Amino acid sequence: MNPFDNISPLDYRYYGRDKDVFAKLSPYLSEEARIRYQLRTELALVKVLARRRICPASVVGEVEKAIGKITANDVYEGEDRIKHDVRALANCIRERVSDKAKPYVHFTATSYDIVNTSVAARFRDFTMDVLVPEMLQLEKALIAIALREKGTLQIGRTHGQHAEPITFGFAISEYVSRFGHAIESVSIAGDDLRGKFSGAVGAYNASALFFSDPEKFEAEVLNELGIKPATHSTQVSEPEYVADYMHSVVSAFGVIANLADDMRHLQRSEIAEVGESFDRAQVGSSTMPHKRNPINFENVKSMWKVFMPMMGTVYMDQISEHQRDLTNSASARFLPELLAGFYVSVRRMRKTMEKLIVDTGSLRRNFEKNRDMIVAEPIYIILAASNHPDAHEYVKQLTLEAQQTGERLVDLLYSDKSVQPYLSKLTGRQKEMLSDPEKYTGIASKKTESVCAFWKKKLRI
Amino acid sequence: MNPFDNISPLDYRYYGRDKDVFAKLSPYLSEEARIRYQLRTELALVKVLARRRICPASVVGEVEKAIGKITANDVYEGEDRIKHDVRALANCIRERVSDKAKPYVHFTATSYDIVNTSVAARFRDFTMDVLVPEMLQLEKALIAIALREKGTLQIGRTHGQHAEPITFGFAISEYVSRFGHAIESVSIAGDDLRGKFSGAVGAYNASALFFSDPEKFEAEVLNELGIKPATHSTQVSEPEYVADYMHSVVSAFGVIANLADDMRHLQRSEIAEVGESFDRAQVGSSTMPHKRNPINFENVKSMWKVFMPMMGTVYMDQISEHQRDLTNSASARFLPELLAGFYVSVRRMRKTMEKLIVDTGSLRRNFEKNRDMIVAEPIYIILAASNHPDAHEYVKQLTLEAQQTGERLVDLLYSDKSVQPYLSKLTGRQKEMLSDPEKYTGIASKKTESVCAFWKKKLRI
Amino acid sequence: MNPFDNISPLDYRYYGRDKDVFAKLSPYLSEEARIRYQLRTELALVKVLARRRICPASVVGEVEKAIGKITANDVYEGEDRIKHDVRALANCIRERVSDKAKPYVHFTATSYDIVNTSVAARFRDFTMDVLVPEMLQLEKALIAIALREKGTLQIGRTHGQHAEPITFGFAISEYVSRFGHAIESVSIAGDDLRGKFSGAVGAYNASALFFSDPEKFEAEVLNELGIKPATHSTQVSEPEYVADYMHSVVSAFGVIANLADDMRHLQRSEIAEVGESFDRAQVGSSTMPHKRNPINFENVKSMWKVFMPMMGTVYMDQISEHQRDLTNSASARFLPELLAGFYVSVRRMRKTMEKLIVDTGSLRRNFEKNRDMIVAEPIYIILAASNHPDAHEYVKQLTLEAQQTGERLVDLLYSDKSVQPYLSKLTGRQKEMLSDPEKYTGIASKKTESVCAFWKKKLRI
Amino acid sequence: MNPFDNISPLDYRYYGRDKDVFAKLSPYLSEEARIRYQLRTELALVKVLARRRICPASVVGEVEKAIGKITANDVYEGEDRIKHDVRALANCIRERVSDKAKPYVHFTATSYDIVNTSVAARFRDFTMDVLVPEMLQLEKALIAIALREKGTLQIGRTHGQHAEPITFGFAISEYVSRFGHAIESVSIAGDDLRGKFSGAVGAYNASALFFSDPEKFEAEVLNELGIKPATHSTQVSEPEYVADYMHSVVSAFGVIANLADDMRHLQRSEIAEVGESFDRAQVGSSTMPHKRNPINFENVKSMWKVFMPMMGTVYMDQISEHQRDLTNSASARFLPELLAGFYVSVRRMRKTMEKLIVDTGSLRRNFEKNRDMIVAEPIYIILAASNHPDAHEYVKQLTLEAQQTGERLVDLLYSDKSVQPYLSKLTGRQKEMLSDPEKYTGIASKKTESVCAFWKKKLRI
């Protein structure tokens, strides 16, 4: 098959063509992987049957050997014939084991015992083996920038307007903290996905025919895959665990989308405080060769726009009539797209941030633009604290005067006799702030350090 | 590439594995198709250049021959080197034409002149060549059922409760009408997608260097592909045309999702008025072989849940800063998934409806269940019309009495002297309704005919 | 009731407290209005009954007088007793008319004949009387800016990077065109909402008891309100008409959200090309009195974020089981929130744009920043057109050299002997572009004029 | 103000008109409450200032007294003048305290220190005081039904088809478990909302002027309200805490929407296993007085459709440029609508479930419908376990034969000599299942008990 015959951009572009990404994701998120995990769940079942002496110990080896040879293609060919995917899967195994072993394959199981449990296991494995490690790499890259730039002066912005000074490291530490929190959430939710082995309607109807302790039997089978059962299940396990997991992923996606937006805007021609590093061979624009376009940040934001709305699908899939309707069957197959979309975005963000160029000249130049006005806030606060009756209005008029006359705000302040009584109470540090606004960064640098230290410890990186 | 290495269920399951579907969709929705349409747009450009004698006529033949040989793979290999997709495309052509022809390839074009225009052309072609014809097939199947069953009595339901009688054909004619309307909307919106050839920021900066009538030049290039320009464009054409088109598709998807839900519920064990036809080789359930599961209707509903939320992506992509940011670039690549998802669902619905089994026995049995109560409405209406002071309350009490005593409502009515003055005014037809509630179907049959005739004429089928 | 006891920000803040907004919206979007339109629909019914001589002509006058006295409160008190809203409404009328008139109130109607039809009428009236006129006011304001600033040089931006020059009027003309198109769409969809008078399950069961032409009867009743029937209806009319209308509104909302984002970003401290006009008494920030925050543009974007997702509700409400389940009843009550949210945003946008400050100094200063680099594109295009074998790479190297040496790009070009053969072919106008990049605005000014003229004519403003 | 002049159905219908609901919600979710919590946050500030001896102890009393008198209306009148809400709030306090106290009001605070912290406190209080208690009431009602009906036979359904038997109590225990889990999630997320007191850009610029330990100062102020600070903040605290909270609410909403759907469908005329209890005065339908419509279940589902999509707003609001843009300001004001919508739905669900009518006759009748076929699954499983070579196909043929001949499946089985060898191995309990399918309920009853016990303990109810 020509990969460009595919329709999904993941398959033909973002995942399928990137060898590294493919190597990371295909063992978990491809259809081949989906089948593989289902086979492993069937194996888990016979292992427990053997341990409980329901079937001979040799069945385990037979099944293990059989599933090693079965491909997705085998299962699909079976499904083409009998129009049932999980039964085709069980048939694939049965055809490859002895008659003695056959009855124990899929023993007492309903299809979704296999499907649900294997989804939980592969999403969990994907989270722990691939996604969280990649997220941690990005977190490390962010921490490195934050600490390196903890003292690099930047004008803080609210409403897109210059506000009070911070440092560039402090700005990045926002994302150290939010993304650190996101890693925690994704880990917890990814490690708490639930399987089930309770039969077609959840009452252990079939397994109770053979076991006096069907819930214990269920727990043993799931334990083979390191998965816990839901407190209750119908044909499917409680959907809220998957919803929590997908929410944790979408929320984490929002964090890097926000980072991407921040970086994109800081890269604007007029701001130019950061830049994606530029590969000499790269064509920035087909007709404007001088541009340095934030294509990676744009891509991350764009992918977020693709996948964020998918939570609507997840929430609708919470609802399934009675012991289950199957209107959540096809839709559940699409969830790996969201996981893959997030993974490639984290990876892209990491690579881009690792090579991020910080333009200290621009940072300084932008800061200088409103340098004098920045002291308006501390003046106001200090006057107010010193019991000035209407500090806010006073400072507002002062700033208008400064704008009209072109004089420095602080000079106007000191030359206004009416406020001298208040100014005389200023501490040395407070006076210093007024004349030297770049010192008015609060505890930006120290906070950057503590935020980084907090998350390094918490995430053990 | 093993197709089961793919992540998207479209690629490995719903589109990629179905030869017929693949043959229908790949010429429009695959990445190969995306590249092909871009090449055609480049060809359209040189055709107009030749017609305007900007370039020699021979260039057209050269480019036509060149693009016949270029595959998506060629373009991607170029992109791998220079990191720009559309420039790689132009290079692929240039490398295959004479030096004389080279300058006219991509002449004055910006990337999105090519991308935007070719998206409009291929979505339009997909709509007209593939999607609408398939929708019309489903419409025909619905019309056939509606007319065949126009007189088949069914109890109408509101709140899931038996209400007043209709016919099964009338119930289907709802979808004849709604889906007919949807076909119209998809056709109109799909035929009104807009391209652009106005350069990097929409002001025709480049083309105005060479043409005194750049808007006319734009219109000529687009006309080669049968596409009109937007009234205004920036780097991209106005996004509302695509939003309208996607809305028309999602709204149409809602119609068949509703039909699927209706059929699914009519197939419930207790209702059993319809059934998906059952293939003898098919496994309905892995452990409950007697079940007849509405898997196709469930699938259609499930696909709707996947793709309906994608409108969120479309609406977010309306917003692009200034003459364009590129946060709508990756996301626009995913739109063909929605189109493919809708197409396969229409197709599945058509096939399922074509073989729909209507169980007249169940229809009758369900109708009989509340046969006597059904006359409550006409009694109430006739009494009210006859000036009964409190017809509603009277009938309510009468129904409670009927429920408690087990007597027929109509018998209670006729044996109640107090209402005889009202009953004496009844017309023969009204009397008939009261004793024979299956006649109380209003104009269900006639309406079915007129709805079908209306849409047959309007859609020319 | 204290308005601040309300929960919805519309009620306590954006609509309820603004006298002008309240006066505009309450006759259509309040609950009082909802009831009023239902009463009018009941009146429409008796008018047709009288015309058809089913009831005496005097009944019309009685009902007209009665509904003039009925308030929402009356209906709600009735509903509190009998737990049914539309029956309570009918009772309110019946209690206020003679016994002779009573039977004709709500004659043959089902609740949703009244509800559906009155929703169509009031949304249509709201659209035509209030929403479209306000949209046209904004359109006029945009046209005024576009024409006034059609020649005001601005650097065009893509990826947030300086690209090619346009004019500020041209940038605004994008919104003249997109919003003009939006006005058309909203008008068309708002004027095509459908009512129904086909009874409880859509088969005219009740009305066919009394009329031989129930569809004609339906059309006559709806015509009293200027509304057309759906081609088919069940208990409700086809939901796609409302979906199309809501889509038109949400899509239009996206246009002004995009405009708000553009203006917001142009107001950034570093760009400062536009400003919201600043009221002297206004407090921009509680502690940074010098800031000029784009609060109105932020508000519009924020409201879009509230209401855009509501399309999810609309799409889910397309699906209603059989002849109707009522899971779309409460949700439909919320649609006026979306309409109100859009209206207040259009109004806010109009007021803000009417007073928009355009800072030509900043526009010029920003343009100058990359003045020399801007010619890269025309150089490349002209060289390519002149058959330079690798114009793109050549210009790219030239720009890197210009950046490194600080020399002007155009000087480097003219001093490079290798390209003189190409340059010798330049027309006078082409040469002018290279030395004077502010002339490289394509047809920005002319296009602005034609776009404005087009929409002025089309919208008759 | 006439409450029916409102636009939001919450304000005029679901919350504003219901005295009990109003009493519960207005102290937390109204605009009056919003202002009240902001005032409390200002009070918390002066308390800490006094404790730290920055201001005299008497200031606390002054401010406490002042805020007791301030209404939302006072603040809004101030905002009308100065166009800034939080400054107007601070002014309201200042105007009501002595000159000595004035400087300490809002000391070093930025608006969002107040807004963000007070939102966290009131959502937390709402969660703990009102929402979770109401959720627990519903949970108790569900547990009561589950335990009461733990032995009531019901046919389990998948695909809407009869599958294997369960009990009605077991079906309800699904919701005991899922809703129990939801209560936990809402409690945890609602108790982990974060405030901030770190100034305009999050670097404690202002407070660091006066305190050497501004983070400790922040923690002390927040602690007055029982709120913790975010690990990092900008002008706002990390948005993921609110996103997690809203997700927990929307996910919980999905659980009751699912329950509503299940009950609605069980109430269908043909199934009729449950019913909403019917008030004699209630009008079920305006023209079909005999219907028993599931209006409360429909309402809950409908409200879910309104509010589920709001997560799109929440996710978009995660993204705020730099130290904050204010495009999340208006939108955040709408979040209480979601909370109110969920609360009224939980409450409605509780009231409806408390009076739920379970029709054991219908449950039995529906079970009997496929009584004989139900044993197909145990037959298949037992044969397979007994090493039948093709049990699935065998049973499938057997069921077809039973359907064609009308004979009981179990009779056909016992009369088929070929399977006697397998049947001879059956245990007594297994044989019993085959002849008495109502015993084939697995551990439905026991599981119901354990699920209820688990959640009673975990939730301490």
For every residue of B157-173, DSSP letters joined together read: EETTEEEEEEEHHHHHH
Average pLDDT over residues C37-47: 98
pTM here is: 0.97
Find tokens 């053969």 and name the residue: C421
pLDDT at site D371: 87
Is there a contact between A109 and A197 (Cβ–Cβ < 8 Å)?
yes
Pairing type for strands B194-195 and B228-229 reads parallel
Distance, in angstroms, between C406 CA and closest chain A CA? 14
Higher pLDDT, B295 or A284: B295
Cβ distance of C174 and B234 shorter than 8 Å: yes
Distance, in angstroms, between B149 CA and closest chain A CA? 28
Best of B170, B172, B231, B426 to substitute, by most chain C Cβ atoms within 10 angstroms, is B231
Cβ distance of A235 and D326 shorter than 8 Å: no
Distance, in angstroms, between B449 CA and closest chain A CA? 33
Distance, in angstroms, between B281 CA and closest chain C CA? 31
CA-based nearest residue in chain C for residue B393: C82
Average pLDDT over residues D388-399: 84
Q: Which residues pair with A157 in a beta bridge?
A: A162
Confidence tier at C282 by pLDDT (50, 70, 90) = low
pLDDT at site D282: 53
Chain D neighbours, 3+ Cβ pairs < 8 A: A, B, C
Non-local CB neighbours of B450 within 8 Å, separated by 6+ positions: none
Cβ distance of A32 and B5 shorter than 8 Å: yes
Average pLDDT, chain D: 94
Q: Which residues of B touch C255 (CB under 8 A)?
A: 240, 318
Question: Which residues of C touch chain A, with CB atoms under 8 Å apart?
Answer: 155, 157-164, 264-265, 267-271, 283, 285-295, 298, 312, 316, 366, 369-370, 373, 376-377, 380-381, 392, 395-396, 399, 403
Cβ distance of D265 and B160 shorter than 8 Å: yes
Residue B130: pLDDT above 50?
yes
Residue A280: pLDDT above 80?
no
Domain ranges of chain B: 3-104, 111-365
Q: Report the alpha-carbon distance of residue D109 to residue D48 in Å, rounded.
A: 13
Q: Which residue, A333, A345, A246, A274, is CA-closest to B330?
A: A345
Q: Do domains A3-104 and A111-365 have the same CATH topology?
A: no
Cβ pairs B/D, distance under 8 A: 117
pLDDT at site B430: 86
Is there a contact between D91 and D102 (Cβ–Cβ < 8 Å)?
no
3-state secondary structure of A229: strand
Average pLDDT over residues D189-195: 98
Q: b or e along B14-49 (b: 16 or more beta carbons within 10 Å of the residue's beta carbon)?
A: bbbbeeebbebbbbbbbbbbbbbbbbbbbbbbbbbb
Distance, in angstroms, between B285 CA and closest chain D CA? 10
3-state secondary structure of B247: helix
Closest by Cβ to C30, choosing from D4, D285, D325: D4
Q: Which residues of C touch A162 (CB under 8 A)?
A: 269, 291
Higher pLDDT, B60 or A388: B60
HEC readout, B273-285: CEECCCCCCCCCC
Residue D286: pLDDT above 50?
no
CA distance readout (Å), B408 to A380, B372, B394, D168, D272: 85, 6, 15, 33, 21
Confidence tier at A282 by pLDDT (50, 70, 90) = low
Question: Residue C195 region, left (φ>0) first, then alpha (ψ -120 to 50), else beta?
Answer: beta
Cβ distance of C312 and B315 shorter than 8 Å: no
Cβ distance of D159 and B298 shorter than 8 Å: yes
Q: Report whether CATH 3.90.1170.50 matches the domain A3-104.
A: no
CA distance readout (Å), D362 to A203, D193, D266, D284, D298: 21, 47, 10, 21, 22
Closest by Cβ to B305, choosing from A293, A327, A337: A327
Q: b or e along A186-216 (b: 16 or more beta carbons within 10 Å of the residue's beta carbon)?
A: bbebbeebbbbbbbbbbbbbbbbbbbeebbe
Q: Report the alpha-carbon distance of residue D450 to residue B113 in Å, rounded.
A: 65
pLDDT at site D278: 61
Instruction: Read off the pLDDT of residues B71-121 as tens digits, 9 standing for 90 and up.
Output: 999 999 999 998 899 999 999 999 999 999 999 999 999 999 999 999 999
Distance, in angstroms, between B66 CA and closest chain C CA? 18
3-state secondary structure of C452: helix
Q: Which residues of A touch D325 (CB under 8 A)?
A: 158-160
Q: Which residues pair with A158 in a beta bridge?
A: A161
Q: Which residues pair with B237 in a beta bridge?
A: B233
Q: DSSP letter at A230?
A: P
pLDDT at site B386: 83
Average pLDDT, chain C: 94
Instruction: Read off the pLDDT of residues B433-448 as tens digits, 9 standing for 90 and up.
Output: 888 889 999 999 999 9
- Tokens representing A185 are 């959430």
Distance, in angstroms, between B57 CA and closest chain C CA? 16
Helix residue ranges, H only, A149-281: 168-190, 214-223, 240-266
Kind plus residue range of the DSSP H or E element containing A419: none
Distance, in angstroms, between B450 CA and closest chain A CA? 34
Q: Report the alpha-carbon distance of residue A220 to residue A198 in Å, rounded.
A: 12
Average pLDDT over residues B32-57: 97
Describe the crossing of helices A111-126 and A168-190 by its angle, rounded to 10 degrees: 150
Q: Report the alpha-carbon distance of residue C90 to residue C85 in Å, rounded.
A: 9
Best of C155, C157, C158, C159 to substitute, by most chain A Cβ atoms within 10 angstroms, is C159
Phi, psi of B22 (to 5 degrees): -60, -45
Which residue type occupies A139?
E
Kind plus residue range of the DSSP H or E element containing A194: strand A194-195
pLDDT at site A143: 98
Q: Which residues of C touch A396 (CB under 8 A)?
A: 283, 289
Task: Give one DSSP letter per residue of A96-108, joined into a string.
Answer: TS-TTTGGGTTTT
Residue B19: pLDDT above 80?
yes
pLDDT at site D288: 56
Is there a contact between C159 and A298 (Cβ–Cβ < 8 Å)?
yes
Question: Residue A272 region, left (φ>0) first, then alpha (ψ -120 to 50), else beta?
Answer: left
Cβ distance of A73 and B2 shorter than 8 Å: yes
User: End-to-end distance of chain B based on CA atoms, in angstroms?
Assistant: 42
Cβ distance of A181 and D231 shorter than 8 Å: yes
Q: Report the alpha-carbon distance of residue A413 to residue A380 in Å, rounded.
A: 11
Find tokens 């600043």 and name the residue: C278
Q: Which residues of A touch B111 (CB under 8 A)?
A: 285-286
Torsion on CA atoms C279, C284, C287, C288, rounded to nearest 10: -90
Q: DSSP letter at B334?
A: T
Chain A neighbours, 3+ Cβ pairs < 8 A: B, C, D
> Which class does domain A111-365 fall in?
mainly alpha
Positive or negative: CA dihedral D348, D349, D353, D354: negative
Q: Report the alpha-carbon distance of residue B114 to residue B106 in Å, rounded.
A: 8
Q: What angle do CA C267, C272, C278 make, to 5 degrees?
A: 65
Torsion on CA atoms A283, A284, A286, A291, rounded to nearest 10: -140
Average pLDDT, chain A: 94
Q: Which residues of D touch B372 (CB under 8 A)?
A: none
Positive or negative: CA dihedral B377, B379, B382, B386: negative
Instruction: Read off the pLDDT of residues D238-279 as tens digits, 9 standing for 90 and up.
Output: 999 999 999 999 999 999 999 999 999 999 999 999 998 765
pLDDT at site D427: 86
Find tokens 């913790």 and name the residue: D228
Average pLDDT over residues C162-188: 97
pLDDT at site A286: 43
Q: Report the alpha-carbon distance of residue A153 to residue A170 in Å, rounded.
A: 9
Q: Please state, for a pLDDT cut of 90, what percent of chain B lies above it.
A: 81
pLDDT at site D203: 97
Q: Report the alpha-carbon distance of residue B303 to residue B354 in Å, rounded.
A: 20
Cβ pairs A/D, distance under 8 A: 310
Average pLDDT over residues D384-413: 85
Of A194-198, A424-428, B330-334, C223-227, the one with minimum mean pLDDT is A424-428
Non-local CB neighbours of A41 within 8 Å, separated by 6+ positions: A113, A114, A117, A118, A121, A221, A225
Q: Please state, for a pLDDT cut of 70, what percent of chain A lies above it.
A: 97
User: End-to-end distance of chain D based on CA atoms, in angstroms?
Assistant: 42
Q: Which residue, C275, C272, C270, C269, is CA-closest to C295?
A: C275
3-state secondary structure of D26: helix
- Tokens representing B227 are 């596409």
pLDDT at site A431: 86
Q: Please state, for a pLDDT cut of 70, what percent of chain C lies above it.
A: 97
Cβ distance of D269 and B376 shorter than 8 Å: no
Closest by Cβ to B160, choosing from D159, D268, D283: D268
Cβ pairs A/B, distance under 8 A: 240
pLDDT at site C401: 87
Cβ distance of C31 and D12 shorter than 8 Å: yes
Helix residue ranges, H only, C231-319: 240-266, 295-307, 310-316
Confidence tier at B285 by pLDDT (50, 70, 90) = very low
**Residue B403: count of CB within 10 angstroms of its CB:** 13
Residue C287: pLDDT above 70?
no
Q: Report the alpha-carbon distance of residue A109 to residue A377 in Å, rounded.
A: 69
Q: DSSP letter at C228?
A: E
Instruction: Read off the pLDDT of residues B400-431 as tens digits, 9 standing for 90 and up.
Output: 888 888 888 889 999 999 999 888 888 888 88
Is there a contact between C204 and C215 (Cβ–Cβ < 8 Å)?
yes
Confidence tier at D377 by pLDDT (50, 70, 90) = confident
Instruction: Read off the pLDDT of residues D288-347 as tens digits, 9 standing for 90 and up.
Output: 555 678 999 999 999 999 999 999 999 999 999 999 999 999 999 999 999 999 999 999
Confidence tier at B286 by pLDDT (50, 70, 90) = very low
Q: DSSP letter at A213?
A: -
Q: Which residue, C98, A158, D289, C307, is CA-closest to B391?
A: D289
HEC readout, C135-197: HHHHHHHHHHHHHHCCCCEEEEEECCEEEEEEEHHHHHHHHHHHHHHHHHHHHHHHCCCEECC
Residue D180: pLDDT above 80?
yes
Best of B290, B321, B412 to substitute, by most chain D Cβ atoms within 10 angstroms, is B290
pLDDT at site C278: 61
Q: Which residues pair with A167 in a beta bridge?
A: A153
Find tokens 């109004």 and name the residue: C347
Higher pLDDT, C252 or C431: C252
Higher pLDDT, A374 or C366: C366
Find tokens 């709508």 and name the residue: B328
Describe the crossing of helices A85-94 and A58-69 by its angle, rounded to 10 degrees: 120
Cβ pairs A/C, distance under 8 A: 117
User: End-to-end distance of chain C based on CA atoms, in angstroms?
Assistant: 42
Which residue type occupies D389?
P
Is there a contact between D124 and D227 (Cβ–Cβ < 8 Å)?
yes
Residue A281: pLDDT above 60?
no
Distance, in angstroms, between C308 CA and closest chain D CA? 8
Q: Which residues of A touch C380 (CB under 8 A)?
A: 287, 289
Which residue type occupies D248?
S
Q: Which residues of C touch A286 (CB under 8 A)?
A: 392
pLDDT at site A245: 98
Distance, in angstroms, between D126 CA and closest chain B CA? 31
3-state secondary structure of C350: helix
